[in-house]
Amino acid sequence: MTTIDDFNFDGKKALVRVDFNVPLNEKFEVTDTNRIEAARPTILKILEDGGSAILMSHLGRPKGKSDPDMSLKHLVDKASEILGVKVNFVADCIGEEAKAAAQALKSGEILLLENLRFHAEEEAGDAGFAKELSELGDIYVNDAFGTAHRAHASTTIIARYFEGSKCFGYLMAKEIAAIKKVMETGEKPVTAVLGGAKVSSKITIIENILDKIDHLIIGGGMTYTFVKARGGKVGDSICEDDKQELALEILEKAKSKGVEVHLPVDVVAADDFNNNANTKVVSVDEIPEGWQGLDAGPETLERFKEVILKSRTILWNGPVGVFEMPNFAKGTIAVGNQIDEATKAGAFSLVGGGDSVAAVKQFGFEDKVSYVSTGGGAMLESLEGKTLPGIAAITD
C-alpha cells in the first residue's frame, strides 16, 4: 500500500482529496470538526516536508451548480484554527483563477478549492474535469475515505493522471488497515455485533463476513424478523415479513460455517414508540400484542457480554436498541462498555456505519474502542466485500 510516508513533499504541491463534508448551523459555523481534525496529520506531514497542500472537497449536495450556502469558504476560519496554518481560499476548483492560486502557493502554505460539486462533472466522473484538477498539483493524495465508494472525478478518475505519484493519506491508510484487520488478519475469536432496524440493509454484510467470523451477535430491530421467522411472537415490533425466509437461510448458513449466532433472549418492550411509554421485560418470543421490543433485555446483555469479553477482534455495526430515546439506550451503552472492556484486555475493536458511530460519539466511547470509521457508506461497502473505486485507483 503506497502511503504518504513513501513520498518527500519538499518543493512539491500535493493535491489532497479530503472529506470536509461537515455540518454547518444557520450561521454557517462548523458544528462537528471531526473530519477536518482527521485530515490534519496528512496535511501537516506535507507542510513539514517543505511542500504545499491544495485541498479539494465537496460539501452537501449542490447538484452541479453554485450555492453560496454550500461554499467551502465557510470552513476557512475553522480549518485555519485546527491546522494551525492560515488556509487560503479560491472561489473555484478549476479554471484560470484556481490555476493562478495554485501556482502562487509557496512551501508551507495551504489552499482550499471551492466545492467540487459546484461542477456536475465531479459526480459524473468526467475525465476532462479530472484532468483539469490534476494540473494543479504534482502528487495526488487521497485521504477521503468517506467518498472512496464513489467513482467521482476527484476520488477515482484523477488518479490516472498521477502515474507513480499517487498515494493514500494517513486517514485512508488507517481505515484500510482497520477493515483488513477485521476481515483478514484479525486474531480469533472474531465477533461481529450487528444491530439496526432491518435485516435487508445488512444482508450482504452478513453473507460476506460469515467466512471471517466466529460469533455473530444480532440486536436492534432486525432481531424481530429472525424471532418471528422461528415462530416467536413479536407483538407490534418492527419486522420485515418478506425477509423471514432470508433470516432462516442466514441462520442455516452460519451453522454450516461453524459460526455461533447469538440472538436476544429477552427485551425491554414498550406499549408505545416513545421515551415515556410503559415498559416491561419480556421473553423475546413472547412479546404481547400492542407491545414492541425497543431495547435488549438484562439476560441478553449478560449473554452478549460473555461472548464479547472472550473475543479478540470485534466489529460493531448498529445499535441494539432505540438509543435516541434515553430509556431505550441502556442496551447500546452496555454493549459499548463491554467492547471497551474487551479492548482494554487487548482486543481490536472497529466501529463503523452511521448509527453505531453516532451512538459511540453520543455516549463517549470514541477513545475506548480501537478505531471509529469516518466513512459510513464506504465502510459498509468494504464489509460487503466490494472493491472501492477510490482505493482501487491508488492500488492498481
Is 303 assigned a ligand-binding role in the annotation? no
Q: How far is CA 384 from the centre of its chain?
A: 13
d(CA 105, CA 54): 9
Asked if 205 and 177 touch (Cβ cutoff 8 Å), the reply is no
Q: Which residue in 73, 160, 361, 377 is the catalytic one? A: 377
Residue closest to 317 by CA, chosen among 369, 264, 274, 246: 369
Report d(CA 341, CA 308) in Å as an integer. Answer: 9
- Is 198 in the active site? yes
Catalytic one among 233, 310, 312, 354? 354
Amino acid at position 375, single letter = G
194 annotated binding-site participant: no
- Cα–Cα distances in angstroms (integers) from residue 238 to residues 286, 327, 382, in the given order: 15, 18, 27
- The verdict on whether residue 355 carries a ligand-binding annotation is yes
Is 117 marked within a binding site?
Answer: yes
**Active-site annotation holds for 230:** no
The verdict on whether residue 105 carries a ligand-binding annotation is no
Residue 321 annotated among the catalytic residues of the structure = no
Instruction: Tell me the helix, strand and coil percentages in the chain, rounded to 5.
Output: 45, 20, 40
The answer to whether the annotation marks 58 as part of a ligand binding site is yes
Residue 128 a catalytic site member: no
Residue 129 marked ligand-binding: no
Report whether 160 belongs to an annotated binding site: no
Residue 64, marked binder: no
3-state secondary structure 83-126: HCCCEEEECCCCCHHHHHHHHHCCCCCEEEECCHHHCHHHHHCC
What distance in Å separates the CA atoms of residue 167 and residue 163, rounded to the nearest whole number?
10
202 has binding-site annotation = yes
Which one of 198, 233, 310, 361 is the catalytic residue? Answer: 198
Give the Cα separation of 64 and 4 in Å (integer).
31
> Using CA atoms, how far apart are residues 154 and 134, in angstroms rounded to an integer?
9
Q: Mutual orientation of helices 170-180 and 34-49 as an angle, nearest 10°?
A: 120
How far apart are alpha carbons 354 and 358 in whole angstroms?
Answer: 6
d(CA 308, CA 190): 9
Give the Cα separation of 330 and 320 in Å (integer).
9
Say whether 66 counts as a known binding-site residue: no
Q: Which of 284, 288, 279 is nearest to 266 (CA)?
A: 284
Q: Is there a binding annotation on residue 164?
A: no
Q: Is 61 annotated as a binding residue?
A: yes
Which of 13, 17, 35, 228 does the annotation list as catalytic? Answer: 35
Q: How far apart are CA 71 and CA 113, in angstroms?
A: 10
**Binding-site sequence positions for substrate:** 19-21, 35, 58-61, 117, 150
Numbered residues of the known binding site for (2R)-3-phosphoglycerate: 35, 117, 150
Binding-site residue numbers are: 19-21, 35, 58-61, 117, 150, 202, 293, 324, 353-356
Active site residues: 35, 198, 354, 377
Q: Mark the binding-site residues for ATP, compressed into ranges.
A: 202, 293, 324, 353-356
